[in-house]
Structure 1
Amino acid sequence: MEQRAHFITLSTPDLDAARAFYRDGLGWTPLLDVPGEIIFFQIAPGLVLGLFEATKFVADMQGTAADGKLGGLTLSQNVATPADVEATVKRAVEAGGTLVKSPQTAEFGGYHGHVADPNGVVWEICHNPGWRVDETGRVHLTPIENTP
């Protein structure tokens, strides 16, 4: 199997709240939106995030151990500047997200804040100057000094 994923699908007990958070709060455009069931957003070349209504998610799993609850998961987005971190976190909270961690200097030397979507999925919005994606799509992470 190739080392890649094409879909990340998250169970959501409130699809309408999730839609408002991602569409209005993060400013994303749906790739496909099936009201009452699932919404997809393309989040990278060849990668889609799906938000699947919880009862439909559990039914799709045919009653297995997948109960539709998430835990121990953080999704992250790197933005261009610390000011972009501030603005994105503010907009996400205004669209129904919950502030988890106010924007601040991060241990890795960048700047970040955390906000949970209406279903509890935690997003880290960060500015990491050591993050770079080259023309082939390969990610490069350069260690950076933690500057106060």
Structure 2
Amino acid sequence: MSLELTVPVPRLTVITLGVSDMCASIAFYDALGFSRRLKATGEAVAFYDTGGPVLALFPWDQLAADACLPDDPRPAAFRGTTLAWNCRTREEVDAVLAFALSKGARLLKAGCATDYGGYCGYFADPDGHVWEAVVAPGIEVGEDRRVHLAE
């Protein structure tokens, strides 16, 4: 007897960040201008429309428990993951960095030229999740806010 495996269509639909303080994180991402959806969830979980995959915020300890991982110790250092805010111009990168800082982000790296012909800078949200503001060759941001990659 042969079992035929159905191959699912790969997709990235939600990026969930574990956060220490739901109120503070909701206020931060609201202030960045992301559009919160399903507000009926209150502070239990927060969902944001990003123009692509959904960004979700969930209490760190509950997220760890849900994934069957220990809540402690929490990594204090870089976790090997960044979130990107792709921009259309170098000026937009600098504007995103300044805007994020004005809303409580911490600057990790000021905008600067990259070795691949782009321009980027980094900031961290209140829980230390790292964001890159970037403009890069071959990656365009359309009017639909979605990233379009060159062939």
The 1:133/1:125 distance shift into structure 2, 3 A limit, reads: closer
> What is the match of residue 116 of structure 2?
108
Secondary structure of 1:87's aligned partner = helix
Is there any run of 5+ residues in structure 1 with no aligned partner, and where? 143-148
Matches within 5 A, 1:116-131: 116-131=124-139
State the identity as a percent. 33
Task: Please say which structure displays the higher CA radius of gyration.
Answer: 2
Calculate the aligned-residue CA RMSD, in Å: 2.5
Aligned partner letter, 2:48 = F
> What is the match of residue 33 of structure 2?
27
> What is the match of residue 69 of structure 2?
65
> What is the match of residue 5 of structure 1?
12
Aligned partner letter, 1:42 = D
Indicate whether 1:15 and 2:19 are aligned. Answer: no
The range that moved more, 113-122 or 125-134, is 125-134
Query: Out of 71, 96, 100, which is 1:88 matched to?
Result: 96
Q: Which whole-Å CA distance do the structure 2 matches of 1:97 and 1:49 have between them?
A: 17
Q: How many residues align?
A: 137
The 1:138/1:109 distance shift into structure 2, 3 A limit, reads: closer
Q: Which whole-Å CA distance do the structure 2 matches of 1:95 and 1:83 have between them?
A: 18
TM-score of the aligned structures, taking structure 1 as reference length? 0.79
Contact 1:37 1:56 in 2 (8 A): no
